[in-house]
Amino acid sequence: MRILITGHLGYIGTAAVPIFLEAGHEVVGCDTDLFRGSTFGRHPGPAAKVPNLGLDIRDLQPDHLAGFDAVVHLAGLSNHPLGNRDPAVTDAINHRAAVRVAAAAKRAGVPRFAFSSSCANYGASGEELIDETAPFAPLLPYGQSKVDAERGIAALADDGFSPVILRNATAFGLSPRLRFDLVVNNLTAWACATGEVLLKSDGTPWRPLVHVDDISRAFLAVCEAPREDIHLQAFNIGATEANHRVIEIAQAVADVVPGTVLRFAPGAGPDRLNYRVSGDKFARRFPHAAPRRTVRESVEELLEACLRQRPTPEEFEGARYQRLAHLNALIAAGRVTPDYRPVVLTRDRVEA
C-alpha cells in the first residue's frame, strides 16, 4: 500500500514510520518539522528519510493526496496545555483542518482515512470503565477539537470512503521525537535526573495508557484490515488493564529507578481529567495488534535512554521537550507565527 502519514516527524510519527516500512508499505510524510529541535538522540530515524510533502495540513489539496491507498492523520496540536493556548487555533488545526484533509482525501479517491483522536473526548468520567459508546464530555479545547473532528470526518463516509477513528489513551514510551509532557515519560525523567518522582497532582486520577509503538501498530492494523472491519468504526487504543492511577504510575517509576523518593509538587491537588477506558473492542477485532507494552517495561527503556542522554530538568521541563514551551519559543524567536505556521525563509531570518 502507498500510505500518507501526516505528522510523520512528530512523537508518534517517528515511531510509526519504521513500523509501516517494516510491514512492506510505501510511506510518504507530510510535516513542517516544527519539532526538529526535540530530537532525542542524534537522528529522528527512518521518518526523516521518507519523502515529505513539507506542507502545513491546512494547505493540503486533493492533488497532493492522489494515488494513496490510505491517509493516516496524526498531525495536530497534541495536548491540553497546547490546546488551551489559543482555542481558535486549536479548532482550526485539530478540527477544521482535519476535516478538510479528510474531504480532500475523499475527492482524491483515497479509500481509507485513519484519524488520530483521543480518549480525552470522554472528559471526567470517573471510576466507571467506559467503552466507545460512552457520551462525549470534553473538558478543554483539545478534547472538544477532537470530538468535532470525529463528527465532521464521520459525515464524509460513503461506499467509496472509509473513515476509522482511533481514540488513543495517554501515550508513553521512547520515540526519536520524545515528549516529556506525558506522565510516564515526565516522571521517569525526573527520577533519573533528580532522584525524585515528582507528582503534580494528588495522584488519585485514573489514566488510560498506551505505548507509542502500540499506537503505531494499531494504525497499521486498521490500514491493512478488510474494509468491513474498520468502516466508520471508532476504537479506544489502549489495553483495558493499562488503566492506572497516577500514584500507581509514580510507584512503578520509583520501583524501577533505584534510590528514588516520591514527592508532591507544591500545590498538587485533584485533577479534573479522570477516566478509565476499555480497549476490549480493538483487542477483539485485532488480537494480533492488541497493545502489549507495559508501563514498567517502558520506564526501564526510558531510564536507559535518559542515562545515555542525561537530559536536565531545564530541558525536559522546558522548550526542548515540552510541546507548548517549544512552540512558544519558536514564536518568540520569530520562526513561527502565532497560529503555528513556519515563517518564510528570507535573508534576515533563519528557517523554522
Domains of the chain (ranges; CATH) run 2-332 (3.40.50.720)
Per the listing, cell 470530538 goes with 147
- The whole-number pLDDT of residue 345 equals 52
Nearest C-alpha neighbor of 6 from the set 92, 87, 98, 117? 98
- The whole-number pLDDT of residue 347 equals 38
In tens, the pLDDT along 197-228 reads 888 778 888 899 999 999 999 999 999 999 99
* Cell (9 digits) for 239: 489495553
In tens, the pLDDT along 58-97 reads 999 999 999 999 999 999 999 988 999 999 999 999 999 9
- The whole-number pLDDT of residue 269 equals 74
- For the chain, how far is it from start to end, CA to CA, in angstroms? 32
- The whole-number pLDDT of residue 351 equals 38
Which residues of the chain are modeled with pLDDT < 50?
Answer: 346-352
**Positive or negative: CA dihedral 63, 159, 285, 115:** positive
